Amino acid sequence: MQEGAVDVTAMAGSVFTGGGLPANERFDCWRELVGRTRDSEMTSAHADHFEAEMRRLELGPVTLLRSSFPPARFRRTAKMVRRSDPGVYHLTLVLDGGLSLTRDDRAPTTTFNPGELYVLESSQPYDVRGVGVRAAGRTEPRIEAVGLDFPVSLLPLPPSRLRELMGRAFSGQEGTCALLAQFLVGLDRQATALGPVEAPRLGTIVVDLMAAWLARELDAEAAVPDDARQRALVESVRAFIRRNLHDPELSPSVIATAHHISVSYLHRLFTQQSQGDTVAAWIRGQRLEKARRDLADPALRAVPVHALATRCGIPRASDFTRSFRAAYGIPPSEHRRRTLSGSTGE
């Protein structure tokens, strides 16, 4: 693989842009990168001038793939399965464009639209075709997707039970599936800020979320180990908090009621899974961090400081100033002045 095509990151991951390769060599490079965890025959009508991007993130034994590519075909034949089966599950979340799946000659083709997920396994043949949409500034249609690849052995559910779910379309807007989809997108957005120490823990969490989702689809929650269920529940709590930071009434009792658990169990579970942080401390930290980001956003420079604090669930200006100074060492107005001056070169 030529220098400039792939940049290796600190997380034992890589980013492919193809910018350092001749146009007619980019497809082969991209195909090799995908093939490390998704062994299939890959073809594309755009192979001679393939413009694709991919970020691979290694989360312990779990691999996250964020890709943007022109229409292509991924075909894993029965012969390929017999020759070599690495025992891997492939989860795909479609962000833009579409993908169609044919699992065998007798089965109907399934189409996956933006916001939908599906799961495949390397032990079964499949034929996936990308159907792109033409975005502004692009000369060719594109497919945008996030993928997750990990060993079958990591999922605490029998493969024989999961076969009935393989290749089905699931909405990433509902229930635990929505939590999983949000977590995948969030991982990709934070990829450059993540350190190698965090990687295995994040890989464990994403598999826990997937196990919780699939177990619910199978009505088999009891098959998921207690620790995996607890980690998935804590991630659900965190997502609920992030969605409701604007509400000054957000409290442990509100969170416990929304998750059908007692307040005492919420406190105990959250402290165990959050390095000792209490629920209230985590809410406060998330509010302050959101306010810190908003204060540094040039697009929000006209919004008064107290208004940003209120949007983060801290309606009392004096409380916000005191908490912000305690957390970051300077008043919020000074933080805004420094960051916005730096961003505009003043």
pLDDT single digits (tens) 151-198: 999 999 988 989 999 999 999 998 889 999 999 998 888 877 777 778
Query: Which run of H or of E encompasses 213?
Result: helix 199-217
**Where does CATH 1.10.10.60 sit in the chain?**
252-344
- Sign of the dihedral defined by the CA atoms of residues 85, 60, 14, 69, in that order: positive
More confident of the two residues 311 and 138 = 311
pLDDT tier for residue 5 given thresholds of 50, 70 and 90:
low
Contact 214, 155 (CB under 8 A): yes
Res 345 pLDDT > 50:
no
Query: Distance between terminal CA atoms of the chain?
Result: 43
Whole-number Å distance between alpha carbons of 185 and 183: 6
Res 225 pLDDT > 90:
no
Whole-number Å distance between alpha carbons of 257 and 239: 15
Which CATH code of 1.20.200.10, 1.10.3720.10, 2.60.120.10, 2.40.30.10 fits the domain covering 6-218?
A: 2.60.120.10
Task: Return left, alpha or beta for 153; rule: phi > 0 is left, psi -120 to 50 is alpha, else beta.
Answer: alpha
Spell out the residues 6+ positions from residue 330 whose beta carbon is closer than 8 angstroms to its own.
338
Mean pLDDT score, 192-211:
84
Q: What's the DSSP call for residue 133?
A: B
- pLDDT, tens digit (0-9, with 9 covering 90-100), for 108-160: 899 999 999 999 999 999 999 998 776 666 667 899 999 999 999 999 998 89
Adjacent-strand bridge partners of 126? 76
Res 267 pLDDT > 90:
yes
Mean pLDDT score, 78-97:
94
- Going across the sheet that includes 170-171, the strands are 6-8, 14-16, 53-59, 62-69, 143-151, 88-96, 116-121, 170-171
Res 201 pLDDT > 90:
no
Whole-number Å distance between alpha carbons of 39 and 57: 18
Res 6 pLDDT > 60:
no
Give CATH for domain 252-344: 1.10.10.60
Contact 129, 44 (CB under 8 A): no
Average predicted confidence (pLDDT) for the chain:
88
**Where does CATH 2.60.120.10 sit in the chain?**
6-218
Residue 215 Cα distances to 97, 156, 197, 228, angstroms: 29, 9, 29, 12
**Above pLDDT 70, what percent of the chain?**
92
pLDDT tier for residue 341 given thresholds of 50, 70 and 90:
confident
Mean pLDDT score, 235-257:
92
Mean pLDDT score, 75-99:
94
Contact 242, 189 (CB under 8 A): no
Res 311 pLDDT > 50:
yes
Contact 274, 285 (CB under 8 A): no
Res 101 pLDDT > 90:
yes
Residue 326 has a CB neighbour count (10 Å cut-off) of: 9
pLDDT at 344: 42
pLDDT at 130: 93
